[in-house]
Amino acid sequence: MIAIGLAALLAVAPQQPAAGATHVLLVTGLSGEPRFATAFHAAAASIYDAAKSRWIASDSSLVFLAEDPAKDPARITGRATREALAAALLKLGTRSAPGDVVLIVLIGHGSGQGADSRFNLPGPDATAADFATWLIPLAGRTVALVNASSGSGDFVALLSAKDRIVVTATKSAMERNEITFFEHFAKAITSEAGDADRDGRVTLLEAFGFARREVAKGYQTKNLLATEHAILDDDGDGKGTAEPGATGDGALARTVAFGVAALPSDPRVTALVTERRALEAQVDALRRRKSSMDSTAYERELERLLVEIATKSAAIRAVTGPKP
C-alpha cells in the first residue's frame, strides 16, 4: 500500500529544484525553408529572452547558435556549425560547476538512426554519438538536453545517463515529418502556460507535459494522425516514456525549474508556496539520508511529507482557481 501511495503522490508532488547556476545553449539548425527558419528562430528567441530576463543566466552562460547569425545579431552568438557546437559545450563545461543546471535546446530537423542519428546543421551534422562525447565534460551537472527536432527519438538511448534529462520530440528516428513540439515547449517553459501548479515556475516535467498535450490537441483539431510523439528519459535506463511522473522517468525533471512569473500578490498563496517549498526541501534532505535509514522508517517519513505537499498544492489550486 505504501508503494502504491507513493507512486500516486509523486505524480503530483514537485521536489526541491536543482540548486546552482543556470546555463543555456540554444541551437537552431538547418531550416530548409523560410517558414521553418522563422518558426525555429521565434521559439529559440523566446527562450533566450526568458533566460536573460527571468532565469538570471549570465551573458557568458547563455549561448545561441543559429543558421544565420545576421538574422538577429543582438541575440545570436554565432553560426550553428558542428565545430561551434562542440566548442560551446566545452566552454560550458569550464563555465559551469557541479550542481549547476545546463539546459541544451536543439530546434530543427533530424535524420539517421541509432548512433548515426543526426541534428541537421549547416555543413557537417552533429550526431548522437558526437553529443555523447561532448557531454562528458558536464559530468556532475544536471544536464537537460531537449532535442526538439524531427527524427530525434534515438538520441534517448545514446545519451541517457545519471543526472541527465533527455527529451526528444519524437519516439523514434522514423518519425521524420514536420513537428510542432518545439513551439509548444518554448511556450511552456517561457510563460505561465506551462505552470501547472501556479507557483511562479515551470519544471521541465511540466513543460514536457504541456507540450505533449498541445501537440496531441493540434493533430486532433485537424483530424490528422499524429506523426510525432515526444518522450522523456531521466532515470538513466535509456528508455524514454511519453507519460513520466509516477515512477521511474520524471523524478529528476521535476526538480529542474525555471521562473516564469512573480508569485500571485495574494498573501495566502505566497504563504502556501513558501510552506510547500520548505516541505520539498525536507524531502530532498530525506532522500540524501536514505542509505543510512531503515527502509520502513524512510518510506513512512517520505509518505508523510508527500501527503503534506499534495495538501499544500491542493490548497494553492483552491485559492488561485482553475488556469485560464
Q: CA 262 from chain center: how many Å?
A: 20
Residue-level pLDDT at 165: 97
Question: Is pLDDT of 17 > 90?
Answer: no
Set of cell numbers at residue 284 = 530532498
The predicted model gives 147-174 an average pLDDT of: 96
For the segment(s) 22-259, the CATH number from 3.30.930.10, 3.40.50.360, 2.40.160.20, 3.40.50.1460 is 3.40.50.1460
- Confidence band, pLDDT 50/70/90 cuts, at residue 1: very low
- Lay out the sheet containing 231-233: strands in order across: 78-79, 62-66, 22-28, 101-108, 142-149, 164-168, 231-233
Domain ranges of the chain: 22-259, 264-320
Nearest to 53 by CA among 247, 190, 183, 252: 190
Do the Cβ atoms of 178 and 160 come closer than 8 Å?
no
Full-model pTM:
0.81
Segment 104-156, tens digit of pLDDT: 999 999 999 988 999 999 999 999 999 999 999 999 999 999 999 999 999 99
The predicted model gives 246-253 an average pLDDT of: 79
Please state, for a pLDDT cut of 70, what percent of the chain lies above it.
Answer: 89
Segment 66-118, tens digit of pLDDT: 999 999 999 999 999 999 999 999 999 999 998 899 999 999 999 999 889 99
Nearest to 254 by CA among 8, 2, 12, 4: 12
Provide the mean pLDDT of the chain: 87
CA angle 164, 167, 168 (to 5 degrees): 140
Residue-level pLDDT at 284: 65
Residue-level pLDDT at 322: 55
Question: Strand, helix or coil at 228?
Answer: coil
Question: Is pLDDT of 273 > 80?
Answer: no
Interacting residues of 305 by C-beta distance below 8 A, sequence separation 6+: 279, 282, 283, 286
Interacting residues of 91 by C-beta distance below 8 A, sequence separation 6+: 63
Residue-level pLDDT at 299: 85
Q: Provide the 10 A C-beta neighbour count for residue 1.
A: 6
Q: Which range is most confident: 25-34, 236-245, 258-267, 279-288?
A: 25-34
Set of cell numbers at residue 118 = 543526426
**Interatomic CA distance for residues 246 and 268, integer angstroms:** 29
Query: Among 6-10, 245-249, 255-259, 295-299, which stretch is predicted with the lowest mean pLDDT?
Result: 6-10
